[in-house]
Structures are given as structure tokens and as C-alpha cells.
Amino acid sequence: MLNPIEELVRLAQSRGLSDDSLDEAVHDAAASAASAANNDGLPGQIAFLNSQVGVEESRKIIEGADANV
């Protein structure tokens, strides 16, 4: 039995999609997720960063951020 990702990859392949075919959809989804995180303030932003780059990289980003922005 295929997991959901494998099933969707097969669907995309059966439709003749290439690596470039979903670029715009991925960018749109990521922008939407980032916008929602920003709308949730610091907790949402930090949760988003953590989910994308992990705790240590999030810490580095926070430590390097400008408080006057």
C-alpha cells in the first residue's frame, strides 16, 4: 500500500508533470503559510521558523534579528 505522498507522486507522474510543474503552487502555498504565521505574531512566527529550520537555526535567526524593524 502506498503512503499519501507516494500516491500523489504517482498521480503527478501519470499526468506527465515534471519537477517544474508545481513550482508556482508550492511558492503560493509557502507564501500563504508564511503570511498566516506572520499574522499570528511572535508565537506563530517562531513556530513556523522552528518547523522549517529547527530549533538551533531558529535561535540563530532570533539572535540576529533587529528589534528596531
How far is residue 18's CA from residue 29's CA, in Å, rounded to a whole number? Answer: 18
How far is residue 69's CA from residue 43's CA, in Å, rounded to a whole number? Answer: 17
pTM across the whole model: 0.78
68 or 8, higher pLDDT: 8
Q: What is the pLDDT of residues 41-62, one digit of tens each?
A: 999 999 999 999 999 999 999 9
Look-up of cell digits 508533470: 17
Tell me the domain boundaries of the chain.
Answer: 22-69
